Amino acid sequence: MNRPLQVLSDHTPIDEVAIRAHRMGRIRELLAGKDCAGIVLFDPVNIRYANGSRNMQVWTMHNFCRYAFIATNGPSVMFELPTGYHLLQGLETIDEVRPAWSLDYMAVGDRAAEIAGRWAKEMLDLILKHGGVNRRLAIDRLDAGMAHALTGLGMELLDGKPMLERARSIKSLEEIRALKFSLGTCEAAMHEMRAQIQPGMSEQEALGILIQGSVRRGGEYPETRLLTSGPRTNPWFQETSSRIMEEGELLSFDTDLVGPMGFYNDLSRSWIVGETRPTAEQRELYEISRAQLETNIRLLRPGKRFLEYAAEAYVLPDRYLANRYADVGHGCGMGVEYPFLWYPEDTDWGAYDGVFEENMVVCIESYVGARNGDQGVKLEQPVWITRDGPLLLADYPLEDSYTD
C-alpha cells in the first residue's frame, strides 16, 4: 500500500499534540524568514490554528476581545477573557496566559484611543523582551487606532495574514488524517439528510438535518446557508429559505460546515428531490458539472503553477460561462484558504501565480447553470495533493445515475 493510502486507512486516535507542534513550527519558520520578532493574532481561526484554543469562535470574529502573541524566539502568550482562562488548560502550546484588553468600540467607547495605547505598550514590552532590537511585528487583523498606537511607539508593522495563509496551506500527515475524520462526520450528516428529504419539506428543514447531524458528531458551526431547491438553485449564492421542495426538482447545496477540531468540511452535491428520474436538462447540467470537476481534479500536481493550471482547466460551454462559480478551486483546512484559483476570465480581479505543493489540500468547485436559467448544479470535492498526484478526501459518491 502506498504512503497516502496508508495515512487515510490509519484509524488510530488523532494526535492533536503533534498537529499543534507542526503548526507552531510552521508559524515560527515563516516569522524568522521575514525577520519578525513575533506576531499578534486576532482572527479566531488563526488563533485556533496557532495554539489550539477557542472561545466563542463566531462572536470573536467581529469582537476583538482575545488575541495571541507568538514570539519568533520566545514564548507563546495567550490574552484571554478572564472568565475564559479555564478553556486554555492542557494546551502545551501556551506558555503564559494574560488578561486581554478589550479593544472594540462597543466595549470601551470613547476610551478606545487610551486603551489602544495601553495595549500597544504591553506589545512593545513583549517585543523588547523577546526580540531585542528587532521591532518588526506581524499582525493578522488590526483596527486603525491600534495601528496608530503601535507605530507611535516606533514599531514596524507587517501584514501577518500572508504568513498564516502560507503556514496553513501545507498540512502535516496528521492534519490530513484529522481532516479526513472531520469530513467523515459531514458525510454521515449528508447521508442522513439524503435519506430524509422528500417533497413537501422546506429547504430550512433539510438544512436543519444537515447541521444537526454535524453538531451531533462533534461539528461546531455552519459558515453559510447555501442549500436551495428548484428555481432558487439559479443563480447560485441564494440563501436557504422556507420554500417547499417539490417532486423532481433539483436540491443543490454547499456544506460549509466547521467540523470536529475546527476543520472546514466543504462538499457540494446536487440531488433530485423524490423518486423522479432527472430530466434531459438536469442530466446535461450534471454531466457538464461532473466533467468540469473530474477534469480539474486530474490536472492537480505538485509543481504545477496556479495560472498554468487555470489556463488548462475545463472550459465551460458559452451558455454557462457567464454564470460560472466564483473560483475554480481554493485551499482548504480550517476554512477557505490560500491558494484561491481564479477563472482566466476573472484575472483582472486578483488572479495571482504560485505553485501547488505536496500536502496542500484544495477544494475543486463547479457550478453549472445558464444565465437567467431556472436551475443549476453545484458540485465540489476536497482533494489532497500528494507527490503522485490528487487523492480525494471524501467518500460521498457523485450521482452515477444522473449521467447514464
128-158: pLDDT as tens digits? 999 989 999 999 998 899 999 999 999 999 9
What domains can be seen in the chain, in order of their start residue? 3-168 (3.40.350.10), 170-403 (3.90.230.10)
CB distance 249 to 229 below 8 Å: yes
Whether the per-residue pLDDT at 276 is higher than 70: the answer is yes
501547488: which residue's cell? Answer: 356
Please give the average per-residue pLDDT across 177-199, as a whole number: 98
pLDDT in the model for residue 397: 97
Please give the average per-residue pLDDT across 345-362, as a whole number: 97
Whether the per-residue pLDDT at 2 is higher than 90: the answer is no
Total Cβ atoms within 10 A of residue 258: 24
pLDDT in the model for residue 208: 98
Tell me the pLDDT tens digit for each residue of 161-174.
Answer: 999 999 999 999 99
User: Distances from the Cα of 120 to the Cαs of 40, 79, 114, 125, 149, in angstroms?
Assistant: 11, 13, 10, 9, 6
pLDDT in the model for residue 206: 98
Q: Distance between CA atoms of 202 and 242, rounded to whole angstroms?
A: 5
Tell me the pLDDT tens digit for each residue of 95-105.
Answer: 999 999 988 88
Please give the average per-residue pLDDT across 299-307, as a whole number: 98
CB distance 171 to 333 below 8 Å: yes
Tell me the pLDDT tens digit for each residue of 379-395.
Answer: 999 999 999 999 999 99
pLDDT in the model for residue 3: 77
Backbone angles phi, psi at 249, to 5 degrees: -95, 165
- Label residue 1 by pLDDT band (50, 70, 90): low
CB distance 6 to 173 below 8 Å: no
